[in-house]
A and B are shown apart, each in its own frame.
Chain A
C-alpha cells in the first residue's frame, strides 16, 4: 500500500472572535490515499471548509501536524506555501470564481502565469484542459456568455491545467441544476479514474457525495 497523500494528525484549528475562542477542528486524524475520491459531509459549521482550507494550504492549523503530497506544511513559509499550492493543488469553487474580463481560455491559462511556461505553450495547455472538459467550442467566450454548468467546467479546467496532484472542491455543484451538477460530477469522476487525481470534495448534497469512494462525516470539528 502506498504512502497516504494527506496525513492529518491531531489537527486543531481555533478561531478567536472577540473574547471567544471557537474550536472549529478538534484534534482530528485523517489519512487519504493517493488517487482517492473523498467527500466531506456535515452540517454548517462542522468544520468541512476549514479542513479543506488547511489541507489546501490556505490556512494554518492552530496545533497538530499536516503532511500533504510529501510536504510538512508547517515548515513552509508564506511564499513557499503559495508556490507549493500553485503546483500541487487545483481549486474548484462553489461560485466558479472566473475573472469576468477574461475569456474561458484566458481564465484557464491563469494558474500557468505563475510558472515558467511560455505564452504559446500556456495557450496550448489551456486549450487541452478545456477540451478535456468538453468546452473546445466555448474557448473564446466570456463567463457571462456561459451557463452555470459551463462556467464550472471552465473552473475545473482551470483547476487541472497545471496538473496538480490534488483537487479540492468546495461545494462544486452547490450553484448548479441537477443536470449540470451531474456533468460536473462525471468530470470529477473521470479526473479521478482516468488521471488518478486525488479529489477531496466538500458537499451538502448526498447525491454528489455518493460519487466519492469514501465519505467522511464531520460534526463539531470531529470526524464521526
Chain B
C-alpha cells in the first residue's frame, strides 16, 4: 500500500455509486467518440481527396450543366493545356431505387472509355470492365452498394429517374473496390450514351462536369487557371478546382452542422464533469470525519486534497477506459461498417481516429481532475477537530 493506491482504493468504498458514476463517464466518452468520429469521417473526404485530380464545372454553380462540346474542346486543347494527363466527364443522374426510395446513393452517367483512366483509385477486374464497355445498359457499382441492395454481377435492375423521369433498366456488369480511403464505395456508374440517347433531343448533349488528372498536385491551381482560361470567352464560364478544394467547399457548406457537433461533444463532456464533481463532493461530505482522523494522525491538507483528486481521476480513467472499450467495437465492427455500406456517399470511411481516442481519455481524466478541484480544496481546508466532531 502507498499514498497513491490508498486514493485509488477509495473508489471501492461505495461500489454502486462508483459504478454508476464511471458508467456516466463511459456514456459521455462513447458519445464524444461517436460525435468526433462523425466529424472526422466528414472531413476524411477532404483529407484523403485527390489533389492531382481537377473538376471543371459551371462557374455559376455545379448544379448547372456544361455543353458536351466543352469536353471535346477540352480534349482538343489538351495538347495546349500542359500538365493534364487524362480527362473524362460525368453527369449526375439522381435516380432512386424503385422501392427503397429513402436510401440515397450516387448514380452517375459517365464517359465509358475514359472514366477509369481518371479514377484509377476505383479498381475493377479487367474482364468486368470490358463487359461493361460492351453493354450500353451496363452498370458498375461499388462493393458497398452491392452489399446494401444485394446486387451482383448479372442482375437486371430498374431505377426510377427523378431528374430524368422514367424507369431505367440496367444490368450489373462489374463491382469496383476502393484503393483510397475517400472513395465512395456506393456509386452506381453507367454509360453516358445510354442516358444521352434516351432523353428528349432538347435535353441532350449536356454534361455535369469534366474531371482530369494532372502531372503534379502542386501545379493544381496553375493548371486550373489555364483550363478556365480556355472557356473565358464562351457563353458559359467554368470553374476548375482540385477534388480536395471541391470537398472543402462541400464541407464548408455544412460548417454550421459541424460546429454544432463540435460544441455538443464538448457540452457532453462538461456535463460529465459536473456529474463527477457532484459525486466527489458527496463522498467528501460523507468522509469528513475520516479526513479528520487522517489529519489527526499527521496527514497534511495536501494529502487529503490528493486523495480526493486521485479518486476523481481514477473514476475518470476507469469510465474513460470502459467508454473506449465500448466505443471501439461499436464503431469499428458495427456502426462504422453499417454507415460505410449504407451511407458511403457521406461517410466513405467511418472509423475512430487514434487521436479521437487519445483526446477522449485525456479529456475524461483532465475534466475529472477539474471536477475534483472544489471538493479537494474544501477537504484540504478541513480543521481536524471540527472534522472529528462530525460523524459520517
Task: Spell out A's residues near B (CB within 8 Å).
Answer: 53, 56, 58-59, 79, 82-83, 85-87, 91, 93, 95, 97, 99-102, 106, 109-111, 113-114, 119, 158
Contact = CB atoms under 8 A, between A and B. Distances in A.
A101 B298 contact: no
Given A82-B299, A83-B298, A106-B1, 20 more contacts: A58-B296, A58-B388, A59-B384, A85-B297, A85-B298, A86-B297, A86-B299, A91-B293, A95-B391, A97-B289, A97-B293, A100-B13, A101-B12, A102-B1, A102-B6, A109-B1, A111-B298, A114-B298, A119-B1, A158-B297
A119 B2 contact: yes
Contacts of A100: 13
Given A53-B385, A101-B9, A79 B1 contact: no
Nearest to B391: A95
Interface residues of B, number: 22
Contacts of A102: 1, 6, 9
Contacts of B13: 100-101
Task: Give the 4 A-B CB pairs with smallest separation, nearest first.
Answer: A86-B298, A97-B293, A58-B384, A101-B9
A132 to B, nearest CB: 18
Contacts of B290: 97, 99
B3 interface: yes
19 contacts: A53-B385, A58-B295, A58-B385, A59-B385, A82-B299, A83-B298, A85-B297, A86-B297, A91-B297, A95-B391, A97-B290, A99-B6, A101-B10, A109-B1, A110-B294, A113-B3, A113-B6, A114-B297, A119-B2
B296 A91 contact: yes
B298 A56 contact: no
A91 B391 CA distance: 17
Nearest to A96: B293
A113 B3 CA distance: 7
Nearest to B2: A113
A207 to B, nearest CB: 25
Contacts of A158: 297
A140 to B, nearest CB: 12
Given A53-B385, A100-B13, A101-B10, A82 B295 contact: yes
Nearest to A81: B298
Contacts of A87: 298
Contacts of A99: 6, 290
Contacts of B9: 101-102
A99 B13 CA distance: 10
A87 B3 CA distance: 18
A158 B289 CA distance: 17
Contacts of A79: 300
> Residue among B6, B10, B289, B296 with the most chain A CB within 10 A?
B296
Interface in B131-184: none
Contacts of A101: 9-10, 12-13
Most interface-central of B12, B297, B299 (chain A CB within 10 A): B297
Contacts of B6: 99, 102, 113
A93 B293 contact: yes
A93 B388 CA distance: 10
B297 A56 contact: no
Given A53-B385, A99-B290, A113 B1 contact: yes
B391 A110 contact: no
A108 B300 CA distance: 18
Contacts of A86: 297-299
Interface in B355-385: 384-385
Interface in B1-21: 1-3, 6, 9-10, 12-13
Contacts of B388: 58, 93
